Amino acid sequence: DGGITQSPKYLFRKEGQNVTLSCEQNLNHDAMYWYRQDPGQGLRLIYYSQIVNDFQKGDIAEGYSVSREKKESFPLTVTSAQKNPTAFYLCASSIDGQGRTGELFFGEGSRLTVL
């Protein structure tokens, strides 16, 4: 089945450690996105990529990094510079690089907890 796979589903990290969240899609979509979800704040865009080897900062990129070396993969690294990393992270994709349809397909999310 086509879709978006995020891993791990749950992750615990000690303060000061970097951690990488995986996102893989087999929908052949050009664009991929990372959102952060916190209670009462909805979804906030961290980074997005409209095409392979290119990505742009979203609204809350500080303390995060990404890469887009392959069309199907868009990993997110939460660095030690991120002051409040405990959150639910959602990866999404859309069929075209400009996101003109506005329709995103989401993975099931990864919940990161910093101990």
Dihedral pair phi/psi, residue 21, rounded to 5°: -100, 135
- Smallest separation, CB 72 to another protein (Å): 17
Query: Rounded CA gap, 74 and 92, in Å?
Result: 10
By beta-carbon proximity to another protein, the closer residue of 85 and 107 is 107
By beta-carbon proximity to another protein, the closer residue of 4 and 76 is 4
- Smallest separation, CB 32 to another protein (Å): 12
- Smallest separation, CB 95 to another protein (Å): 12
Binding site for another protein (CB under 8 A): 4, 6, 33, 40-43, 45, 48, 50, 58, 90, 92, 98-104, 106-109
Maximum Cα–Cα distance across the chain: 40
Strands of the chain (E only): list them: 4-7, 10-13, 19-25, 31-38, 42-51, 54-57, 64-66, 76-78, 87-94, 105-106, 110-114
By beta-carbon proximity to another protein, the closer residue of 84 and 101 is 101
